[in-house]
Homo-oligomer: A and B are copies of this chain.
Amino acid sequence: MTPENTAPTLSQLLERGDLGGCTEWLSNSHGLDTVRVLARLSDEQREALLALLQPAEAAEVLEVLPEPQAIEAMEGLEPETAARILEELPSDQQADLIGEMETSEAEAILEQLDVDEAESVRRLAAYEDDQAGGMMITEFLAFHESASVADVLEDLNRNAEAYADYNVQYAYVVDESRRLRGVLRLRDLLLAPRSHELSKLQIPITAHLADTTDITDVAALFDETGFAGLPVLDEAGRLLGVVESDALAQAQTEEADATYRASQGIVGGEELRSMPLWLRSRRRLAWLSTNVALNVVAACVIAAYQETLEAVIALAVFLPIISDMSGCSGNQAVAVSMREMSLGIVRPSDALPVLFKELSVGLINGLVLGLLVGGVAYLWKGNVYLGLVVGGALTANTLVAVAIGGTVPLALRKLGTDPALASGPVLTTLTDMCGFLLVLGGATMMLDRLV
A335 near B277 with CB under 8 A, answer no
**CB-defined interface of A276-299 with B at 8 Å, one 1/0 digit per residue?**
010011001101110110011011
Q: Is there a chain B Cβ closer than 8 Å to A126's Cβ?
A: no
Q: Is the CB of B153 within 8 A of A191?
A: yes
Minimum Cβ distance to chain B for residue A116 (Å): 25
Question: Given the complex of chains A and B, what is the CA–CA distance between A266 and B337 in angstroms?
Answer: 11
Q: What are the residues of chain B within 8 A of A157 when measuring CB–CB?
A: 191
Contact of A32 with B321 at beta-carbon distance under 8 Å, contacts A257-B256, A364-B277 already known: no
Q: Which of A10-18, A340-348, A411-419 contacts B (4 or more CB under 8 A)?
A: A340-348
Kindly supply a per-residue 1/0 record for chain A positions 352-385, scoring 1 wherever the CB is within 8 Å of any chain B CB and 0 otherwise: 0110011011001100110011001000100000
Q: Which residues of B contact A207 (CB under 8 A)?
A: 30
Looking at the complex, which one of B329, B338, B365 makes contact with A260 (CB distance below 8 Å)? Answer: B338
A303 to B35, CA, bound (A): 50
One of A78-86, A94-102, A174-182, A222-230 contacting the partner: A222-230
B191 lies within 8 A of A156 (CB): yes
Whether the Cβ atoms of A320 and B292 lie closer than 8 Å is: no
Listed stretches A43-51, A103-111, A233-241, A244-252; interface member:
A244-252
> What is the CA–CA distance of A346 and B40 in the complex, to the nearest angstrom?
10
In the complex this chain forms, how many copies of it are found?
2
User: Given that A32-B217, A324-B291, A339-B257 are contacting pairs, would A316 and B296 also be in contact in the complex, using a CB cutoff of 8 Å?
Assistant: no
Q: Which of B257, B266, B296, B321 contacts A292 (CB 8 A)?
A: B321
> In the assembly, what is the distance between CA of A348 and CA of B257, in Å?
21
How many chain-A residues does the 8 Å CB contact rule pick out?
119
With an 8 A cutoff between CB atoms, is A444 at the interface?
no
Nearest chain B CB to A284's CB is how many angstroms away?
5
- A353 contacts which chain B residues (CB < 8 A)? 273
Q: How far is the CA of A432 from the CA of B272 in the complex (A)?
A: 27
- Specify which of B190, B281, B365 is in contact with A281 (CB 8 Å cutoff): B365
List, in ascending order, chain B residues with CB within 8 A of A298's CB.
Answer: 320
Give the dominant DSSP class at A's interface: helix
> Is residue A261 contacting chain B, with contact meaning CB distance below 8 A?
yes
| Chain A residues numbered 46-74 whose CB sits less than 8 Å from any CB in chain B | 60, 63-64, 66
Give Cα A64–Cα B222 distance, bound, in whole angstroms. 9
- The answer on a CB contact under 8 Å between B281 and A295 is no
Task: Evaluate contact between A289 and B36: CB separation under 8 angstroms.
Answer: no
A165 contacts the other chain (CB 8 A): yes
Q: A323 near B: Cβ within 8 Å?
A: yes
| A142 on interface, CB distance cutoff 8 Å | no
A317 to B368, CA, bound (A): 27
Collect the chain B residues with CB atoms within 8 Å of residue A281's CB.
Answer: 361, 364-365
In the bound complex, how far is the Cα of B66 from the Cα of A336, in angstroms? 13
Q: In the bound complex, how far is the Cα of B157 from the Cα of A350, in angstroms?
A: 50
Please report the C-alpha to C-alpha distance between residue A69 and residue B206 in the assembled complex, in whole angstroms. Answer: 27
Residues in B whose Cβ lies below 8 Å from that of A163: 187
Q: Does A77 contact B (CB under 8 A)?
A: no
List 15 other contacts, CB 8 Å, given A273-B336, A288-B332, A289-B369: A40-B345, A244-B246, A246-B246, A260-B338, A266-B339, A271-B332, A277-B360, A281-B364, A284-B329, A284-B332, A295-B325, A296-B321, A303-B380, A306-B313, A310-B310
- Please give the residue numbers on chain A whose beta carbons come within 8 Å of chain B beta carbons, in ascending order: 30-32, 34-36, 39-40, 60, 63-64, 66, 153, 156-157, 160, 163, 165, 167-169, 186-187, 189-191, 207, 216-217, 220-221, 223-224, 226, 228, 244-246, 248-250, 252-253, 256-257, 259-261, 263-266, 270-273, 277, 280-281, 284-285, 287-289, 291-292, 295-296, 298-299, 302-303, 306, 309-310, 313-321, 323-325, 327-329, 331-332, 334-336, 338-340, 343-346, 353-354, 357-358, 360-361, 364-365, 368-369, 372-373, 376, 380, 428, 432, 436
8 A-B interface contacts by CB (under 8 A): A30-B224, A153-B190, A168-B169, A249-B253, A277-B360, A285-B368, A288-B325, A296-B376
